[in-house]
Structure 1
Amino acid sequence: MKTALSYQIYESTIQLPENWNTLASKNIFLSKEYFEILEKSAPTNMICHYISLFKDQNLVGIAISQFLDLNKLESFGDRDRCVKSSVRKFILKNFSSHVLLIGNNMLTGQNSFIFSDSISTAEGIKTLKKATNDLKSKFKSMGKKVHITTFKDYTQKDVEEFTTEVFKKNYKYCIQPNMTFDIRDEWKSEQDYINSLTKKYRDQYKRARKKAEGIEKRKLHLEDIIRHEEIIYDLYHHVAQNAPFNTFFLSKNHFRVFKEILKDKFLFYGYFLDGNLIGFNTLIKNGDTIDTYFLGYDDTVQREKMLYLNMLYDMIAYSINKGFKEIIFARTALEIKSSVGAKPIEMYGFMEHSNSRINKHVSKIFPKLEPEIIWKERNPFKE
């Protein structure tokens, strides 16, 4: 007879099983160290829980859940000042302000769970669905009714595992793609990458590099990050505030804590003009993948100096030089990322509203919440 899986929900990394990281070694974003960062510097409107799955007392799965309270947000993003934006804010505040998700709302991609080979993905997901019911009860006892439960950021291949009876009332949605950049085996240097571009995009590269003359790029260490913390947060906050849609804002100490805990696996690059910090970007080493993380910039300088595009080229150069296989450029700025060679991967999620009447209409409501992004895919490479 097949052994049913059991699960345990934890509030703190101190409670995690000792061998947690044996599974987490496949993804830094499910490691104890990364969870420690969240404990010390998660957004103020986020509560994290960690879930372990057991089969015959053996650890066979690990996962993260996040509860988001959208009522605590100062804004949902100020870029789109239109009727649709107002409708979105009204719906979110009144019907969907408490969201429970299996996954990580601060990242793009499948950073929800890892299962060992001794269980099927379908089994693991089914057990995580049971765990969400426990979490909903837990939040209810704290006076926080969960409106929406969602599993997020899965590829088309992952989605096949969700076709069970358990998810039949869930709405399958498609959100902005994850922009990923594959590093070719033959690229050993940045020049190899440049040589592979068509003339139009080589010219774009040269123009961007010329515009950035006078800007000094520096790798910042922990003491530098602490010293510049105020301006770093201002630069980040400016970019976040002008995004089309936000569900959280980072805490001021977030980058400092990241560097303290992940050390050399977390890279922070500052861009200086006339001695002043005018922009930064961050990278995370995750096995043979580089994950791009949050960035910030002074908008006036960014336009004039093509700073954002230069940051993308710098990320590509670093990743090639250090022998990484791919870069996760995540969401947003799809067209410009496409122009440097990133490709879109469609991402899916499953959601269910706690109110059965609203749940029947989620397929009509959700498209009104997701900002519409119109963009054109580019191919900068020679055929």
Structure 2
Amino acid sequence: MHRNFLKSIEKNHPNINFKYIILVDENLKPKAFTSIQIINFNLEAIQNNLESFTKKVKEIGRKLHIIPNKKPLKILISGNTFVSGEHGIFINQTEDKKSVIKDLAKAILQLTTADNKLKIDAFLLKDFENESLLITDELKNYGYHPFSVEPNMILHLNDNWQNFEDYLAAMKTKFRVKAKKALQLSGALKIETVTLNNINQHLPKMTQLYQKVATNASFNLADFNLQTYIDFKANFGDNYILKTYWLNDKIVGFLSGIINHNALDAHFVGIDYKYNKTHAIYQRMLYDYVQIAIQKKVNIINFGRTASEIKSSVGAEPNDLTIYLRHKKRITNRILKLFLQGVQPTPFQQKFPFKKINLNENYQSIN
């Protein structure tokens, strides 16, 4: 929600229309804020994730000219298109949050009716945690349909981890062996920190690697422009982390992330899949995120969505997220409800890599 973070994204994505809504009280003091991005989204981008009956719903909708054929949907998004989690709405603690959510829903609709050039097809309010649903379910009264998306994978760091060796020591033998094997396989990789001085020469190859990952994703609202990294580094310095992975003088991967208060938020990565298995590039990145977090003395790593199982193998746990979607047309919105019933998070097997803590281990009797 930092001004420079939002400004950097806006500057480098001219194909996205950015808006900001501020709600004020009777004394004109701000009580809530939401970041809006308006994008063109093609339904085919999630076709690989649809169940058979959902495809039929879409076909029927197109035959009835309710769902456009090949034409992209213009979607208004409340939230951050490029970041997982609750990063779209801020409400003052003193406000009645249910009431504010209602006012925001009205303000979003008012924004689109006031500017006929926007021509919005659908409204999407994204990434609410389970604790927020008691408040955000008020959106159902305004025609919004909730559906679950892949969870944000979160690792809570133990206060006793002073270095990476402490982290490894906390693991069960099976997972510690797996980690050491990944570190061994990735031993030939050379890791370099990206700075403002060298970022321009690396960005073309980094962009190619990012596209490889984005193409493999089952769901992607919009492509991220890596030129944004230049502004991130200029605005946030060492708190914005960029590292490249090299093999024989060739970039085969990169990671990015930002220190956000007491958390390390992992952002986009790029991988040359040709070398991923042989050199455990992605696994190495996950362990490097852990090492960075320990060095920066943060409490949490937000690993984001996708690849949930492998993230759980390094200790991350799922934090469920809900999105609310509404189509502008009433009949289409009813069909949309059926459509969304077939969109479910990809199932995965949650791993539990850490030893169980014996609470009585250090207990000393006072008797």
- Aligned residue number for residue 97 of structure 2: 121
The residue number in structure 1 matching 2:215 is 241
* Selected match of 2:21 from 41, 45, 51: 51
In 2, Cα distance between equivalents of 1:78 and 1:271: 33
Post-superposition Cα deviations, 1:344-380, rounded to whole Å, max 9, x if no partner, equal 0111122211111122232211244x47523111111
Deviation per residue, 1:75-119 (Å, 9 max, x gap): 838987998998779867658711112111211110012222231
Cα separation, 2, equivalents of 1:99 and 1:322: 37
Match of 1:381 in 2: 354
In 1, the alpha carbon distance for the partners of 2:313 and 2:320 equals 18
2:76 is the counterpart of 1:76: no
* Greater mean deviation of Cα atoms: 123-132 or 189-198: 123-132
Q: Which position in structure 2 is the counterpart of 1:283?
A: 257
2:5 maps to 1:31: no
Residue 80 of structure 2 aligns with an amino acid whose one-letter code is N
C-alpha distance in 2 between matches for 1:334 and 1:65: 27
In structure 2, what is the equivalent of residue 17 of structure 1?
Answer: none
Taking the aligned partners of 1:299 and 1:234, their CA distance within structure 2 comes to 12
**Partner amino acid for 2:6?**
F
SS in 1 for 2:347: coil
Q: TM-score, normalised by structure 1?
A: 0.84
* One-letter identity of the residue aligned with 1:171: H
Q: In 2, Cα distance between the equivalents of 1:292 and 1:258?
A: 14
Alignment CA distance shift 1:84-1:260 (3 Å): farther
In 1, distance between residues paired with 2:50 and 2:188?
A: 35
Alignment of 1:204-283 (within 5 A): 204-283=178-257
- SS of aligned partner of 2:123: strand
Q: Which amino acid aligns with 1:375?
A: F
Where does structure 1 lack aligned partners over 5 or more consecutive residues?
A: 1-29
Q: 1:212 to 1:348 in 2, by over 3 A?
A: same
Alpha carbons of 1:290 and 1:127: their partners in 2 closer, same or farther (altered >3 Å)? same
Structure of greater Rg: 2
For structure 2, which runs of at least 5 residues remain unmatched after alignment?
357-367
Structure 1 window deviating more from structure 2 (247-256 vs 274-283): it is 247-256
Q: Which AA in structure 2 matches 1:246? A: N
SS in 2 for 1:64: strand
The Cα shift of 1:151 comes to: 1.4
Aligned counterparts, 1:218-367, within 5 A = 218-367=192-341
- Provide the residue aligned with 1:136 in structure 2: 112
**TM-fit CA distance, 1:243:** 1.1
Matched ranges for 1:48-197 at <5 A: 48-55=18-25, 56-70=27-41, 76=45, 97-139=73-115, 141-142=116-117, 144-164=118-138, 167-197=141-171
Count of aligned positions: 348
Q: Check conservation: 2:150, 2:345, Cα contact below 8 A.
A: no
TM-score relative to the length of structure 2: 0.87
Check conservation: 2:105, 2:139, Cα contact below 8 A: no
Is the 8 Å Cα contact of residues 95 and 147 (structure 1) preserved in structure 2? Answer: no
Q: Which moved more, 1:321-330 or 1:256-265?
A: 256-265
